[in-house]
Chains A and B, each alone.
Chain A
Amino acid sequence: MGLWSNLSAGIRGLFGKRRVEQELDDELRDYLDKSTAEKMRAGMTREEAHRAARIEMGGVEAVKENVRSASWETHLETLWGDLHFGVRLLRFNPVFAGAAILSLALGIGANTAIFQLLDAVRLRTLPVKNPQELASVRIDERQSWSGSANGRYSELTYAMWEQIRAQQQGFSEVFAWSPTQFNISPAGEVQNVQALWVSGEFFETLRVEPALGRLLSPADDRPGCASSGVVISYSFWQHQYAGDRSIVGRTLSISRHPFEIIGVASAGFYGVEMGRYFDVAAPLCAEPIVDGNEDAVLTRRDYWWLASMGRLKPGWTIERATAQLRAASPGLFEATLPESFNPEQAKRFLAYRLAAFPGGSGVSELRSNYESPLWLLLALAGLVLFIASANLANLLLARASAREKEMGMRMAVGASRGRLIRQLLAESLLLAAIGAALGGFLAHSLSQVLVASLSTKNDPLFVEMGTDWRVLGFTTGLAVLTCVIFGLAPALRATSVSPNVVLKEGGRGTTDGGSRFGLRRVLVVAQIALSLTLLVVALLFARSLGKLASVDAGFERDGILVTDIDFTALNLPAERRTPFAKELLDRLRTIPGVDSAATAKIVPLSGNGEIHDILTGDPDAPKDHHSLSAFNAVSPDFFRTMRTPILAGRDFNEHDVVGAPLAVIVNETFARTILKTGNPVGMQFRVRRMSKISGPYEIVGLVKDTKYADLREDAQQIVYTPMAQNERPDTDVEFLIRAHGPLASLILNVKSVAKGTSSDLDVSFVVLQEMIEEGLLRDRLMARLAGFFGGLAVVLAVIGLYGVISYMVARRRNEIGIRMSLGADRRSIIALVLRESLLLLAIGLTLGVVLALAASSAAASLLFGLKAHDATTLIMATVILAVIALAASYIPALRASRLDPLEALRHE
């Protein structure tokens, strides 16, 4: 009732404003009249009585103001009025408004974009029902493992998964999955799509509904299934089949094997991996069909390729599920121990314990790779926004001193300080709101650009970036925060004047030397300090990228085309595979423009690799930790093709084949650390793969160190074996072709060679240099963004410094005029001004160095080849900033020195 009458009266007040005001006027006049009449009855004259009554009331306007402030609609009205006034002020100063809104929009936009990405990969939960019930099941604190692994989440073997499904009690359902790629081209050049191997429980556990047909169920995932159905994603259905509803029942070719499409998953479901998507999902049991029985990993107990997730039963917690899994672990690992493990590996394996981890936000490699860079970028963007806000604060402070008289006047006629502050803040709020709204729009495209720059053809990303409450809250929070930073201090300043002082003071701005100006100096010092920090971080990333790009990989990166030729479909027996690959290689070498070509099991820097134990000396002695080495199998001419120098001994040749003595080539680090010699040619060692020991191998050559899996790694031991000595050659071979001339025609030629050899070859290409550059994606992104923020920060800070120095010059015109008329020459005037900016610069840079040291420690883990406290970088940044800043303050200094003394003195 009370609320309602208040509301309706308020609304009436808003719309019938004039009438309400008139009534208030009448009422007060009536009161005054009655009061006057009473006093006259007590014996006063009319004038006296009138005066006394007015004094008693204490100002009609003040009483009215009090009455108005008892009604809520008044606040709304004054806010509206303030905003209106703010709009008018901004329209008076379009340059100021434009610059302010633009810098805020950029700052808020950059922050929001980065936050949006963080939100998407870090904070969001999976778009499935009750995601908080999901938990991943994996080995707790698995520090080392033996065997082979594949995929981004190689956490379990298939045998372990079967045991987990049978023995777990805490989950109503569990499933296993593995990300992969399928070649869906029925013949010829490979067409890869993003795919998932999933156990039959996958869709059920995640409560995903079909958009069409049906989804995979446990019945589709029976071990040894002869054929199977596959499910495609909604987006794949849309773009590959244009949403054709007759798709169910049609055939999809995967590695040349036909699979029936049984259904389409619901729109918006992209799997359980944040930042990725899938096109096709196939049941685990079909893995041997796709990979071929020979390469099948399904039943291999030493092959890690699966990850598992479950949905907790009602009443079960992560802790309780973990306890149950732990208890079941000893038996479980006993039952899944790979038979090939040596006793040491077995001991480590049996000590594993399973545990459950919260899985509601899914899994994400993107998250672990990009989380700390993104937080760092967010911090950098935050600093830029702060610097931009400081500029605004400086501008508003300058305006505040220009409006001092106005404020003094208004306070003298009775405006309260709070009221004036509110009005000044409304203007800042307006700026912040417009800036945030524009920034929000900007953020949307910025974050798309960010994702696009992280995505590559072979490794596409998909980040669902909606604007959720977190992003909205973040942007609003930023707007309010910036508004407070740049608006509140000037508003407090502007209204802290005593009306007397201001009104008495006339035009001369002589009071402005001290505290009023101090705040602006503090802001500029902070800007310089922060922009130095940003500049240092930017330079660190740029130099780190430069070092990575120019690091000696041990081979020449450019000019090599990597061609993957898969001849599995030919079904060649093992002994015919090596000759077939050799024949292909010989044909490729005849292509015009090809300088040399070779095959390799592992393409350098592709991220793949294998590591085995090296046994030297006594076969029965226990091996020590240092005798691990990376392996690669290569053809003759590999080193010539890669341009890796052979330092001693010889290259492999056509005599190194099955049956001949086992030959190997090692690199310098291998010779130095394992054999402790400079020239190991002629020495022998044996190799242990799992529990199988082979050898002896005789070293026939020594080559220069090369990077193996990653440009960042230190030189590691590498053993090269001749491909032709492999008794079970692969049917999928990497050809490294060094050629000159146009790439397009080379690819055409390679394709026609492949086609001329057999129509059953699957061919795919990648340029080695491009592949390596894709590996530097994160570094390039950091260098670019940090560089952008650093540059922006310097520009903003220099504008701030320039503004303050110009302002100082304008304020000291009088003084400068006097100095000049007393005989100061132009140089001493310039020195006078520059001294001021040097002082600010010196304090700012000193603080900045301290901040920069702290900030670069935070960035240290993302840098390559640089110490976090890199003196060169620090000096470079300081010099760059100092030079730009001094140049910027030289302009107002010069202007000051060109003042006409007479003119300056006349200026009031």
Chain B
Amino acid sequence: MTDTSATLVQGTLDMLILKTLALEPLHGWGISQRIQQLSHGVFEVNPGSLFPAFRRLERAGLLECEWKTSDNNRRAKYYSLTKTGRQKLRSETKEWERQVAAIARILQTAS
């Protein structure tokens, strides 16, 4: 599994977290599972970088959190997007698409 999973491009983890949370609030495990699922197993997120990213985004005011009781009657910390978090996601996505398109153009002409 680890062999096939790609390393994340620097700085994209934050964007992926924001994206997964755009649909509904999730807890840490859920976010890591969702990223793995959505990328069809290409990205596997290590908790060692996931949790610091939560703390970072929370501090930047992009995420907010809430303790809820989950299905198996245990307390779990659910993260959700703030208003600024949504704005950030929009601008990041736009920027990302712009860059990807540019890189694609370069790769096409080069071949």
Chain A contact residues, CB within 8 Å of chain B: 1-2, 4-6, 9-10, 23-24, 26-28, 30-31, 33-35, 38, 56-58, 62-63, 66-67, 69-71
Known contacts A1-B61, A2-B59, then 13 further A-B pairs from the complex at CB < 8 Å, ordered by chain A residue: A2-B61, A5-B61, A27-B77, A30-B70, A30-B75, A30-B77, A31-B27, A38-B29, A38-B33, A57-B47, A66-B48, A66-B51, A67-B51
Q: Are B47 and A5 in contact (CB under 8 A)?
A: no
A62 to B33, CA, bound (A): 21
Residues of chain B within 8 A (CB-CB) of A69 are 52
Q: Contacting B74 at CB < 8 Å: which of A4, A28, A33, A70? A: A33
Q: Are B61 and A63 in contact (CB under 8 A)?
A: no
Q: Are B56 and A70 in contact (CB under 8 A)?
A: yes
Residues of chain A within 8 A (CB-CB) of B53 are 70
How distant is B67 from chain A, measured CB to nearest CB, in Å?
Answer: 8
Q: Are A30 and B60 in contact (CB under 8 A)?
A: no
Q: Contacting A63 at CB < 8 Å: which of B51, B60, B75, B77? A: B51
Chain A to chain B contacts (Cβ below 8 Å), 23 pairs: A2-B59, A2-B62, A5-B60, A5-B61, A6-B60, A23-B77, A26-B77, A27-B27, A27-B76, A27-B77, A28-B47, A30-B74, A31-B32, A31-B47, A33-B74, A57-B47, A62-B48, A67-B54, A67-B55, A70-B52, A70-B55, A71-B55, A71-B59
A683 to B93, CA, bound (A): 109
Residue B4 is within 8 A (CB to CB) of chain A in the complex = no
Residues of chain A within 8 A (CB-CB) of B48 are 57-58, 62-63, 66
Residue B58 is within 8 A (CB to CB) of chain A in the complex = yes
A62 to B51, CA, bound (A): 11
**Known A-B contacts A5-B59, A30-B75, A35-B29; A63 and B47 likewise in contact (beta carbons under 8 Å):** yes
Name the residue of chain A whose CB is nearest to the CB of B74: A30
Residues of chain B within 8 A (CB-CB) of A30 are 27-29, 70, 74-77
Scan B64-107; emit 1 where CB is below 8 A from any A CB, else 0: 00010010001111000000100000000000000000000000
4 nearest CB pairs, A to B: A34-B29, A5-B61, A70-B55, A70-B52
A328 to B27, CA, bound (A): 86
Q: Are A56 and B47 in contact (CB under 8 A)?
A: yes
Q: Contacting A6 at CB < 8 Å: which of B27, B32, B33, B61? A: B61
Q: How many residues of B contact A (CB 8 A)?
A: 28
Residue B46 is within 8 A (CB to CB) of chain A in the complex = yes
Q: Are B51 and A9 in contact (CB under 8 A)?
A: no
A71 to B54, CA, bound (A): 11
| A interface: dominant SS | helix
Scan B17-48; emit 1 where CB is below 8 A from any A CB, else 0: 00000000001111011000000000000111
Chain B contact residues, CB within 8 Å of chain A: 27-30, 32-33, 46-49, 51-56, 58-62, 67, 70, 74-77, 84
Name the residue of chain B whose CB is nearest to the CB of A26: B75
How distant is A1 from chain B, measured CB to nearest CB, in Å?
Answer: 6
How distant is A74 from chain B, measured CB to nearest CB, in Å?
Answer: 10
A24 to B47, CA, bound (A): 13
How distant is B101 from chain A, measured CB to nearest CB, in Å?
Answer: 28
Residues of chain B within 8 A (CB-CB) of A63 are 47-48, 51-52
Q: Are A6 and B59 in contact (CB under 8 A)?
A: yes
Name the residue of chain A whose CB is nearest to the CB of B83: A1
Residues of chain A within 8 A (CB-CB) of B54 are 67
Residues of chain B within 8 A (CB-CB) of A66 are 48-49, 51-52
How distant is A493 from chain B, measured CB to nearest CB, in Å?
Answer: 30
Residues of chain A within 8 A (CB-CB) of B28 are 27, 30-31
Q: Are B59 and A70 in contact (CB under 8 A)?
A: yes
Q: Are B52 and A9 in contact (CB under 8 A)?
A: no
Residues of chain A within 8 A (CB-CB) of B61 are 1-2, 4-6
A4 to B46, CA, bound (A): 29
How distant is B48 from chain A, measured CB to nearest CB, in Å?
Answer: 5
Q: Contacting A9 at CB < 8 Å: which of B49, B59, B74? A: B59
Residues of chain A within 8 A (CB-CB) of B27 are 27, 30-31, 34
How distant is B37 from chain A, measured CB to nearest CB, in Å?
Answer: 12
Residues of chain A within 8 A (CB-CB) of B58 are 9
Q: Are A67 and B52 in contact (CB under 8 A)?
A: yes
Name the residue of chain A whose CB is nearest to the CB of B56: A70
How distant is B68 from chain A, measured CB to nearest CB, in Å?
Answer: 11
Residues of chain A within 8 A (CB-CB) of B59 are 2, 5-6, 9-10, 70-71
How distant is B32 from chain A, measured CB to nearest CB, in Å?
Answer: 8
How distant is A600 from chain B, measured CB to nearest CB, in Å?
Answer: 85
A1 to B55, CA, bound (A): 16
How distant is B11 from chain A, measured CB to nearest CB, in Å?
Answer: 15
A28 to B77, CA, bound (A): 10
Residues of chain B within 8 A (CB-CB) of A70 are 52-53, 55-56, 59
How distant is A33 from chain B, measured CB to nearest CB, in Å?
Answer: 7
A489 to B76, CA, bound (A): 47
Residues of chain B within 8 A (CB-CB) of A27 are 27-28, 51, 76-77
